Structure 1
Amino acid sequence: MKPLLLIDVDGPLNPYAAKPRRHPEGYTTHRMRPTGWTSAESAKPLRVWLNPGHGPELLALADAYELVWATTWKDEANDWIGPHLGLPRLPFVDWPVMHGRAPRGTFWKTQYVLEYAGSRPFAWIDDDITAMDHEYVDRLHPARALLMRIDERIGLTRTDFDALAQWAEAVCPRKGGRGR
């Protein structure tokens, strides 16, 4: 069974903390109104920067991983994010509680990521992962896990995609190599 690749949107795919009005190279601007989006300027939609090159990179990783949204966008990532990247509908973590209390100083998502993963190996890309999350996962998860903190000013990079491919190959080697 393939490991999971748990994908956050804001930070890894949408480098929301980049300099205002200056998206990183390769990104395009989109205006979106996902459910629950509220803005100080109520008529103004959410600005999202997406790199169309990330879709093919994620699809290439789908040979080695089961791709899953692990974002507060939940299933709406399939409607608002996936189409801009050329991704099919993906399963998603349906957080039972968002932004709630977290065990021992961990990020609120971490406990639910472990519940979703069960005993499967997983890689998780998010901009809020801390050393406490690494410690928590190392202590409680029965399989291998890769937690990658992605800089929310930069988003995913070539180095990140290479690291994800290498980790998957080490966890679940495929006959004939990676095919890339």
Structure 2
Amino acid sequence: MAGSAQRPLLFLDVDGPLIPFGSPHPYPLYETDRPELPDATSHPLLPRLDPSHGPRLKALPCEMVWATTWAADANECIAPRLGLPELAVVAWPEPSDADERDERAGLHWKTRTLVGWAAGRPFAWVDDEISDADRAWVAAHHEGRALLHRVDARSGLGDADYRVLGEWLRPG
């Protein structure tokens, strides 16, 4: 079946990939005079969102899902500034003892939830905190294809990241 249900998922983190941080150098700021957008004073990092991410993300052949602690706020604050539609949002469970064991083993707290959310469907996960432990766990526990792509939080998503994602997501 060729419908959107068969397209790979793209789990997208915000802080780091879309809002860069951690560099000693000043970041470019992208102000907007569009009054319909959320006020950037509500979150001081919103002006770091490069609006060119929106068209680049929409051009990827996938179904995007927010995988961020911004939760539903990503649809209210991030999506409009990037020109993205409202996206599905991963709901994070309450921390558990298993999460503590995972953390001690180097597994990111998002990993199990994202694999469960994907339910065997191919997915790419873009985050600034992905490790080899996450890649190994996903390889052992996820039936579908998966790309765990770590982005440098100091620079955020760049041309090389979009090339990797585009090549992995394209069918064939």
In the superposition, the TM-score normalised over structure 2's length comes to: 0.83
Query: Is 2:9–2:64's contact at 8 Å kept on the other side of the alignment?
Result: yes
Structure-1 separation of matches of 2:44 and 2:110 = 22
Residue number in structure 1 paired with 2:58: 59
Q: Which runs of 4+ in 1 moved over 4 A?
A: none
Secondary structure in 1 matching 2:143:
coil
What's the Cα RMSD here? 1.9
Deviations 1:12-61 (A, max 9, x none): 000022336x114xx4267354xxxxxxxxxxx44231111000000101
Structure-2 separation of matches of 1:18 and 1:98 = 30
Deviations 1:88-124 (A, max 9, x none): 1000101113695352320111111111111101000
Q: 1:5 to 1:32 in 2, by over 3 A?
A: farther
Residue number in structure 1 paired with 2:159: 158
2:68 to 67, 71, 85: 71
Query: Is 1:12–1:150's contact at 8 Å kept on the other side of the alignment?
Result: yes
Query: Is 2:106–2:131's contact at 8 Å kept on the other side of the alignment?
Result: no
Counterpart of 1:123, as a letter, is A
Query: Is 2:17–2:157's contact at 8 Å kept on the other side of the alignment?
Result: yes
In the superposition, the TM-score normalised over structure 1's length comes to: 0.80
Residue number in structure 2 paired with 1:149: 150
Structure-1 separation of matches of 2:53 and 2:150 = 17
Matched, 1:14 2:3: no
Return 5+ residue gaps in structure 1 as ranges. Answer: 34-44, 174-180
Query: Is 1:102–1:108's contact at 8 Å kept on the other side of the alignment?
Result: no
The Cα of 1:2 is off from its aligned counterpart by 0.4
Counterpart of 2:84, as a letter, is L
Counterpart of 2:71, as a letter, is K
Matched, 1:123 2:127: no
Secondary structure in 1 matching 2:164:
helix
Return 5+ residue gaps in structure 2 as ranges. Answer: 1-5, 32-38
Residue number in structure 1 paired with 2:92: 95
Residue number in structure 1 paired with 2:35: none
Query: Is 2:19–2:45's contact at 8 Å kept on the other side of the alignment?
Result: no
Residue number in structure 1 paired with 2:34: none
Identical positions, percent: 43
Counterpart of 1:165, as a letter, is G
